[in-house]
């Protein structure tokens, strides 16, 4: 088979077209892989944030329940023992999900009888991200 100069130019153009299609195809695949990784990281971070909010809400409910709607100090006497028991249960439950939860030690001064509020420091970690917050809970 004898190629003329015109045929050689057509083969070069066809090869360039095939190469361009290949480059576009691989760039789309690379972009999809990078985007999926970013979405996964964002989802995992928002899951930890959501779990921390759930932990705070649950802890606030526990403090309200133990204090009998703000009439008793949840960080004193038998109420403190009950709060500590709930804390231990929450620590074990979150450990099953792979989280480390800690509650700062409490004293009677963390409760304000006039405002009926309690203050507590909560920490939640998944090994990479750690959330620590000192929150004031309304016990009314």
Task: For residues 40 and 66, give the distance between their C-alpha atoms in angstroms, rounded to a whole number.
Answer: 39
pLDDT at 134 over 90: yes
Q: Given pLDDT bands bounded at 50, 70 and 90, which one contains residue 51?
A: confident
Average per-residue pLDDT for the chain: 85
Q: Given pLDDT bands bounded at 50, 70 and 90, which one contains residue 43?
A: low
Are the CB atoms for 59 and 83 separated by under 8 Å?
Answer: no
Query: SS3 for 72?
Result: coil
pTM of the model: 0.66
pLDDT at 48 over 70: yes
DSSP assignment of 73-130, as one string? -TTSTHHHHHHHHHHHHHHHHHHHTT-EEEE----GGGEETTTTEEEEEEEEE-SS-E
Are the CB atoms for 66 and 86 separated by under 8 Å?
Answer: yes
């Amino acid at each position: 088979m004898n190629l003329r100069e015109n045929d050689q130019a057509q083969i070069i153009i066809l090869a360039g077209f095939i190469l361009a299609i290949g480059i576009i195809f691989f760039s789309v695949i690379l972009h999809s892989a990078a985007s999926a990784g970013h979405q996964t990281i964002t989802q995992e971070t928002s899951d930890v944030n959501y779990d921390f909010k759930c932990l705070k809400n649950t802890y606030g409910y526990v403090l309200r329940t133990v204090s009998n709607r703000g009439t008793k100090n949840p960080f004193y006497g038998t109420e403190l023992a009950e709060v500590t028991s709930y804390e231990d249960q929450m620590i074990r439950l979150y450990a099953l999900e792979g989280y480390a939860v800690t509650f700062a030690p409490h004293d009677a001064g963390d409760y304000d009888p006039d405002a009926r509020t309690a203050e507590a420091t909560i920490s939640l970690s998944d090994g990479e991200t750690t959330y620590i917050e000192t929150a004031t809970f309304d016990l009314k």
